[in-house]
Structure 1
Amino acid sequence: MTDPFTASDPFAALARLRAAGPVHRLVTPDGPPAWLLTRYADVRGGLGDQRLALDRAHAGGGYTGFDLPPQLDAHLLNSDPPRHTRLRREIAPSFTAQRVRALAPEVRAVAAELAAELPAEADLVPDFAVVLPVRIISELLPLPPDARAEFLGWADALLRHSPGAEPRARDTMRDMRGIIGSALGSAPPEGSLLAGLLAARAGDRLDADELTSMVFYLLFVWYEIMVHAVGSTLLRLLGEPDVDAEAGVEEVLRLHPPQLLAAPRYALTELEIGGTRIPAGDTLLLSVASANRDEDVFPDAESFRPERSPNAHLSLGHGIHACPASALTRVIAVAAVAALREARPGARPVVTAETASWRGNFRHRGPASLLIREASTRGKG
């Protein structure tokens, strides 16, 4: 059976697996085995199944993902209730619908500024898709000026390599620790997200590891997802001025999810899923990418249909473990499209989704490069 972790086209490999059955036993690129769930109903169910834990303490020897030191591992993606509930409570006020609406003008302003500054021969991945989320995340916390520069340099360095040759984020741990240390040693404005986390530590609502882990989560876990979301959105929508940006972003997220797999889950008890017995302690990988192209849920699933409604994709999670920044990610992606349509109305990507080079690993995916050209608009009026 084709292995989607090493296939050049993970979606074709996943389609074959999905047709063959809902659950498959595979060996991950890192070596340890895991169960792969491929169909929408099972993936969506697994995202909210309380019999599946995210805490690696429940792992029984299978794949456990990015192995972090304890000081960086006590975050939402390695927590279950009640700790997960407590941790999420500390950042939730910064991501309410009201707060995100309040942030939207600032996001649009930053996107417009960056679009206006683009060189004539721009590559929208390093020149825009990387910089925009870094700027917004830096403002959101906020980071002190020296840490902002370090964060941007770190993000840019990861993208200045050919696909497949780029360093993994885990190989930059020293740089990550330096940026986190600068953030925690700063004096953030009262009422800011970082000030709230520092106050939670002072009030014993977070311990020392949880504090550093949450800053790591806010800075580095979201970064790659946001960059890939912006890059894929621009690839699909920049040359389609008549497509509504908000609807288009949803379809881009479905068809080109920035994270191919949800965070690993571990069976708390013996389970049966899709007729397969899964022993307690085994690792389950929920394939968001496969679920999003399940024909039983999304007719004509392989096609880009921005008018698709409803569009209940799972790219940003589901249930209590849905990404807290999902609304902000959407705002950033929509703002990116609007800013570039305004600043460069004749710009079109040189490549298509079919011819683009993609970067990432078996968990994440986004365009590696996105050169644009100015296309003539004559005859379009």
Structure 2
Amino acid sequence: MAVKRIELPGGSKAWLVTGHDNVRSGLADPRFSLSKDNAADGYAGFSLPPALDANLLNLDPPDHTRLRRLVTGAFTAKRVAGMRAKIEATANRLLDGLTAEVDLIATYAAPLPVITIGELLGIPPDRLSDFRGWTTTLITQGAGMREAVQSVCRFIVELIARKRTEPADDLISAMIAARDGADQLSEDELLSLAFLILWAGYENSVQLIGNSIHAVLRGGERPDTEELLRTANPNLHGLRRFALRDVTVEGTTIAKGQTVLFDIQAANDEAAPHVSFGAGIHHCLGAPLARLELEIALDTLFHRFPDVQLVRAQDRVSFRSRGVAELRVRLST
């Protein structure tokens, strides 16, 4: 069945759309909105304060078009490609002290992306451990959620203020300077986008790298990067959408205002190009960085430790994603 009714963790209902063609076209379909203002069926998802909500994952055109145009000018392929040497150096440094049996999530897959995104945004290295702690609280939605959100807001506000007076060659400085004629990012837009890049750039990459290493260790051979993006992608479905008008998908009518999830995992199980980074105007802005991090993480690990052996893995599966909470391995040179 290509479209079925499901219940979300908060108790509200949604439509789950499967099938590669349905998912790819649906992710790019302008009849489905990302803005929660268009929800009319009791949607109760993860919410952020307004200061963090003005980001690309909650906006439709023309606001989405404007923000993406401004940010794309700062988040260039050249900037990402120029990070290769730094990411390689970080990966090697993280592996330098590892011996015998270790958890590769805690020692490698998690710190590599957070250090990378910190360098990209211009976050002082001594503050990265704080950010990792807040992010973990937000992801698990555990105790201290309110305090974590407040801490993240305060941290980014202070960072933006410092970059205004002391700009550098980093993404925050570039976003502050980004203009399109007289247009530029507002304070809330800067704050929201910095938060989005920090959170998405860290959490998704941790799980992608961990899932990919686990897949290689179980399978004995290393697939190419695109195959790993298809099979090891952590996201089970795309970000929720809301129908802007009645839409019929394979004979099922999705009413205006109803919540829709597009099943990325099921779509990626088919013999077709993966949809791990979405499609259309909402295609992931960080896709080049995710590819680069994954390639370097695997190249460096398996070059340094070609005979690494899997000891055990502990899965972490939620409604939104699948990952590896612990990946214990035995290293040998």
> TM-score, normalization: structure 2?
0.90
Which is further off, 131-140 or 25-34?
25-34
* Superposed counterparts of 1:1-381, under 5 Å: 21-63=1-43, 65-155=45-135, 167=142, 172-187=148-163, 189-200=167-178, 205-238=184-217, 243=222, 247=224, 249-294=225-270, 298=271, 312-351=273-312, 356-374=313-331
Secondary structure at the counterpart of residue 127 of structure 1 = helix
Cα distance change on mapping 1:136 and 1:240 into 2, 3 Å: same
Checking the alignment, whether the CA contact within 8 Å between 1:150 and 1:179 is kept in structure 2 is: no
Query: Conserved in 1, the CA contact under 8 Å of 2:101 and 2:331?
Result: no
Q: Secondary structure at the match of 1:122?
A: strand
Letter aligned with residue 324 of structure 1:
L
The runs of at least 4 consecutive aligned structure 1 residues that moved more than 6 Å come to 156-159
Tell me which amino acid in the other structure corresponds to 2:260. L
Whole-angstrom CA distance in 2 between matches of 1:198 and 1:335: 30
Q: Could you report, residue by residue, the CA deviation over 1:260-296 in whole angstroms, capped at 9, with x for unpaired residues?
A: 11111111111111110111011101110111113xx
- Deviation string 1:302-361 (CA, Å, 9 cap, x unpaired) is xxxxxxxxx61111211211111111101101111111112222212224xxxx432142
Query: Cα deviations across residues 174-201 of structure 1 (Å, max 9, x unaligned)?
Result: 3322332332232354342101222349
One-letter amino acid matched to 2:63: R
The change in CA–CA distance for 1:317 and 1:272 in structure 2 (over 3 A counts) is: same
With structure 1 as the length reference, what TM-score do the two structures score? 0.79
The one-letter code of the counterpart of 2:329 is: I
Q: Classify 1:211/1:98 alpha carbon distance in 2 versus 1 (closer, same or farther; 3 Å).
A: closer
Unaligned runs of 5+ in 2: none
- Equivalent residue letter for 1:339: T
Please say which of residues 86-95 and 69-78 is displaced more in the overlay: 86-95
Displacement, 1:259?
Answer: 1.0
The equivalent of 1:10 in structure 2 is none
Q: Is the CA contact (8 Å cut-off) linking 1:147 and 1:179 kept in structure 2?
A: no
The answer (yes or no) to whether the contact 2:207–2:234 under 8 Å persists in 1 is yes
Q: Answer 1 or 2: which has greater strand percent.
A: 2
Q: Using the alignment, how far apart are the partners of 2:96 and 2:30 within structure 1?
A: 47
Deviation at 1:147, TM superposition (A): 3.0
Aligned residues: 329
Superposed CA RMSD: 2.6
